[in-house]
Each structure stands twice: as structure tokens, then as C-alpha cells.
A and B are shown apart, each in its own frame.
Chain A
Amino acid sequence: EAGVAQSPRYKIIEKRQSVAFWCNPISGHATLYWYQQILGQGPKLLIQFQNNGVVDDSQLPKDRFSAERLKGVDSTLKIQPAKLEDSAVYLCASSLVTPQETQYFGPGTRLLVL
């Protein structure tokens, strides 16, 4: 069974530029999550989708971050404009339905904002 796929793996941009990350969850998983992991810390949830609806985006900085999961399968997370403090690893995860079930993570996208 294929795991969670993410691309790109690495991205370097300058501040004020925009960037987008893509995630394809495990087949059959209804729920998809985007996490931000700053160096030396645990992952922090940015947004949770169930199918194509948003369940929780309370920690998403909506002035610069946006995310969509239009067809209830893959998802895109965008940052526009990027700030230096957005430098982090962006992890995508998926679970069958609820957050209490095991979440399986992708390899992450490492973003460096200069």
C-alpha cells in the first residue's frame, strides 16, 4: 500500500515570494492534515480536512496561508507572501476518518525562506 506522498521535498524561496506544497494521502483515507514543524519542536496542526470540508483551521494563519482539498483526495497548501519565520518542515498526514485513529505521515517538505 502506498504511503502519503508529498512534493516537493525541498524548497528555497525569498521572503515575500509565494510557495505551494502538494499532498496525496493514503488511498481510502477520508481525513487529511497539514502540520508545521519548526526546528526543535513537535509538529503543530495547521488544518484538518474531512473529505473536501474543513474540520479545523483554527491555527492556520489565514492572512498568508491557504489550503484546499477540492475533490476530497489530494490537497495543496499555499503560503503567500512567505516570511522568514515560515521556514519549517511542512508535514502532511492522513487517517481513515477521525484524528483518534492512527495518522500516517508523508516525508514532508523542508522550506527555507531567505
Chain B
Amino acid sequence: AQKVTQAQTEISVVEKEDVTLDCVYETRDTTYYLFWYKQPPSGELVFLIRRNSFDEQNEISGRYSWNFQKSTSSFNFTITASQVVDSAVYFCALSEGGSQGNLIFGKGTKLSVKP
């Protein structure tokens, strides 16, 4: 069965600190997709990144970077030089292949960035 674990419930940092959000997943499929979403206080889920299981290249987008390691079934997310606007709940999600490979979300990590 597929599962996503975000062990960090809440993280608090001071502005300009770097922070890493952990995500560990479980799946028996060889083809799967991993996602990160941001949910600010307004409530809307904002898409950040999608990664398929065949692409282990790390990705950087501005202050955001993602580290995908199949050997440890992890897909961690790092924010460099955090800002107050980064305060939100961040969700990691997994989708297996097939027409019913729906998104399975972790419980989320609440990030608070203090000025």
C-alpha cells in the first residue's frame, strides 16, 4: 500500500535561515510520481513540483530545491534563506501509475518563519 510520511509536524525558523522539510514514501510500484504543494493560510493548495520515479535529478528553483533519493525513498524539500511569506503548511504527495493512481498526501509540515 502506498503511504507518505512527513515526520515533522511543525518547524519554526527565523527569517534567512535554511530549512529542510522531510518526506518519506512507500510504494510497490516502479512507476510513480511525487509532488509538493504549499497551503498558505488562505487555504488554497499551490503546486510546487512534480517528479517522476525515473528522474532522480535534484532540482533547484530560486530559493527552493528538492532532493529525490530512491535508495532511501525520500523526497526532501529545502528552502534557502527563508522569508516570512514562506510560512505555510507544506504537503508531500504520491501518485502511483494507472487511472486510479490518485494523490496520497502526507499529514503536512507547518512552517513558521519569524522576522
Residues of A within 8 A of B (CB): 33, 40-45, 48, 50, 55-56, 89, 91, 93, 98-108, 110
Would you call A110 and B43 a contact (CB within 8 A)?
yes
Q: How far is the CA of A98 from the CA of B98 in the complex (A)?
A: 8
The segment from B56-64, B72-80, B102-110 that touches chain A is B102-110
Nearest 7 A-B pairs (CB), nearest first? A42-B105, A105-B45, A107-B44, A99-B102, A100-B33, A45-B102, A56-B100
Flag whether B71 is at the interface (Cβ < 8 A): no
Given A40-B107, A42-B91, A42-B93, answer yes or no on A99-B100 (Cβ-Cβ < 8 Å). yes
Given A42-B108, A100-B33, answer yes or no on A105-B44 (Cβ-Cβ < 8 Å). yes
Which residues of the partner chain B approach A40 to less than 8 Å between Cβ atoms? 107
Which residues of the partner chain B approach A48 to less than 8 Å between Cβ atoms? 100, 102
Q: Could you list 19 further interchain pairs (A-B, Cβ under 8 angstroms) beyond the known A100-B95, A106-B44, A107-B42? A: A42-B91, A42-B105, A43-B105, A45-B102, A55-B99, A56-B100, A89-B43, A93-B45, A99-B101, A99-B102, A100-B52, A100-B101, A101-B50, A102-B47, A102-B50, A103-B47, A105-B37, A105-B45, A108-B44
Which residues of the partner chain A approach B37 to less than 8 Å between Cβ atoms? 105
Q: How far is the CA of A33 from the CA of B101 in the complex (A)?
A: 12
Total number of A-B contacts with CB less than 8 angstroms? Answer: 60
Would you call B100 and A55 a contact (CB within 8 A)?
yes
Would you call B100 and A43 a contact (CB within 8 A)?
no
Chain B residue with the shortest CB-CB distance to A56: B100
Given A42-B93, A42-B108, answer yes or no on A99-B103 (Cβ-Cβ < 8 Å). yes
Would you call B44 and A56 a contact (CB within 8 A)?
no
Which residues of the partner chain B approach A33 to less than 8 Å between Cβ atoms? 102
Which residues of the partner chain B approach A99 to less than 8 Å between Cβ atoms? 95, 99-103
